Amino acid sequence: MSIPRRASTTQSPFSTFWSVPATRALVALVFVLLLGCVFNANGAFFKIGTHRDALRQASVFGILACGMTVVIISGGIDLAVGSVLALVAVAFSLMSIHGGWSPFIAIPGALLLGAICGGVSGTVTAWFGIQPFIATLAMMVFARGLAKTISGGTKVSTIIQSADGQYRQAEVPGIFRFIDSSVLQTRNAAGHATGNLAVVTIIFLVCAGLVWIVLARHYWGRQVYAIGGNEEAARLSGVSVRVTKIIAYAVSGLLAAVAGICQAAQEQQGDPEAGIGYELTAIAIVVIGGTTLAGGRGGLGLTLLGTLTIGYLEKILSINAVPEASRLMLTGAIIIIAVLAQKRRKL
């Protein structure tokens, strides 16, 4: 996973413990959870449904953050994920709702679209030496435009306008209902069965698991760390820097596509305006976890902790009905606290 760093030559048990980035990421999460226990909104925080919802809401951001982790470890950044999410959400809705295509075609098609977007920004960065910030910024603007073009500027929903101007109602596709459902059902007092784990959360965990295996256990993952640590050294030791980078951005695009499919399913529509600003949340999650923006250090496990921190923070603010203005200030403050905890102090 992450590459532990030596804290100091004379190590006390605490400083050894504190030198592991995961410990510090955990501190931020525990802090947020304690906030939740204190401000529990008349016990709402202790209900299982609250946790299911918190995890479900964090899942889309978590999936984006998984891809972002790969790109950031490689020393880059991907600003296009929010737009790619919208593009894929629109394309997936067009294929599934309007086209009535089978999910076995629509899902691979949507994933391919995302991977191509990522691959293009990767190619522009790796092959032509354009800074990742600029290359992915261009993709962010382009993909947003493409999403608005193919959707005709409006939401692609189950209410479809026919040629004669009348509106007809299409069925919500089964795949949408499946992704938006939840498993591990229990019955409440009224006899209504509700699931306790959302399918999107499972999708997030599967994505996180796969990315973790690739980053921590596969030689390609080691190459990503090598490039992020020292690109020149990696090149000299025979790493194909360009190809590895392109794949890293393609992975990010692919995961943005997964997030886009989840977003479309949860909204029951493809909104070309979806995902605005999501890239910043994804970056915040990665950084709060403890992966450094400079590249070469960090890991997927940290991103998982970061996702939970941000996800629970949002939920706690929401169940307490904190006004929007205070929410923004509190979120800013907690991001700083979490990042300060990441900053290694000499102890």
Angle at CA 277, nearest 5°, toward 271 and 278?
80
Identify the H or E element spanning 128.
helix 103-128
Size of the site for another protein (CB under 8 A): 39
- Tell me if 164 contacts another protein by CB under 8 A: no
- Tell me if 177 contacts another protein by CB under 8 A: no
Figure out which of the listed residues 15, 16, 23, 157 binds another protein, where binding follows CB under 8 A.
157
- Tell me if 4 contacts another protein by CB under 8 A: no
Pairing of the two strands 182-183 and 197-198:
antiparallel
Which one of the spans 67-75, 192-200, 215-223, 247-255 is the region binding another protein (CB under 8 A)?
A: 192-200
In one-letter notation, the amino acid at residue 9 is T
Figure out which of the listed residues 6, 192, 343, 345 binds another protein, where binding follows CB under 8 A.
192
On whether the CB atoms of residues 244 and 74 are closer than 8 A, the answer is yes
Figure out which of the listed residues 2, 35, 36, 50 binds another protein, where binding follows CB under 8 A.
50
- Tell me if 102 contacts another protein by CB under 8 A: no
**Minimum CB distance to another protein smaller for 41 or for 214:** 41
Residue among 284, 286, 314, 311 nearest 300 (CA): 286
Written as one string, the DSSP assignment of 141-168 is HHHHHHHHHHHTTS-B-SEEE-TTS-EE
Figure out which of the listed residues 23, 27, 53, 337 binds another protein, where binding follows CB under 8 A.
53
- Tell me if 154 contacts another protein by CB under 8 A: yes
Between the alpha carbon of residue 180 and those of residues 61, 73, 111, 113, 115, the distances in Å are 16, 31, 18, 22, 23
Alpha-carbon radius of gyration of the chain: 21
- Tell me if 279 contacts another protein by CB under 8 A: no
Tokens of 177: 């209902």
- Tell me if 10 contacts another protein by CB under 8 A: no
- Tell me if 13 contacts another protein by CB under 8 A: no
Residues 6+ apart with CB under 8 A from 288: 25, 28, 306, 309, 310, 335, 338, 339, 342
- Tell me if 49 contacts another protein by CB under 8 A: yes
SS3 label, residue 159: strand
- Tell me if 182 contacts another protein by CB under 8 A: yes
* Spatial distance between the Cα atoms of 196 and 183, rounded to a whole number of angstroms: 6
On whether the CB atoms of residues 272 and 147 are closer than 8 A, the answer is yes
- Tell me if 155 contacts another protein by CB under 8 A: yes
Identify the H or E element spanning 186.
strand 186-187
- Tell me if 266 contacts another protein by CB under 8 A: yes
Identify the H or E element spanning 168.
strand 167-169
Written as one string, the DSSP assignment of 190-203 is TS-EE-SEEHHHHH
On whether the CB atoms of residues 62 and 307 are closer than 8 A, the answer is yes
**Minimum CB distance to another protein smaller for 55 or for 110:** 55
**Minimum CB distance to another protein smaller for 270 or for 296:** 270
CB 288 → another protein: shortest distance, Å?
A: 20
CB 221 → another protein: shortest distance, Å?
A: 29
- Tell me if 9 contacts another protein by CB under 8 A: no
Touching another protein, residues 292-331 (CB under 8 A) = 314-315, 318-319, 321, 323-324
**Minimum CB distance to another protein smaller for 73 or for 264:** 264
- Tell me if 131 contacts another protein by CB under 8 A: no
Name the residues that contact another protein, by CB under 8 A.
Answer: 41-42, 44, 47, 49-50, 53, 57, 127-128, 153-155, 157, 159, 161, 167, 169, 180, 182, 188, 190, 192-194, 263, 266-268, 271, 273-274, 314-315, 318-319, 321, 323-324
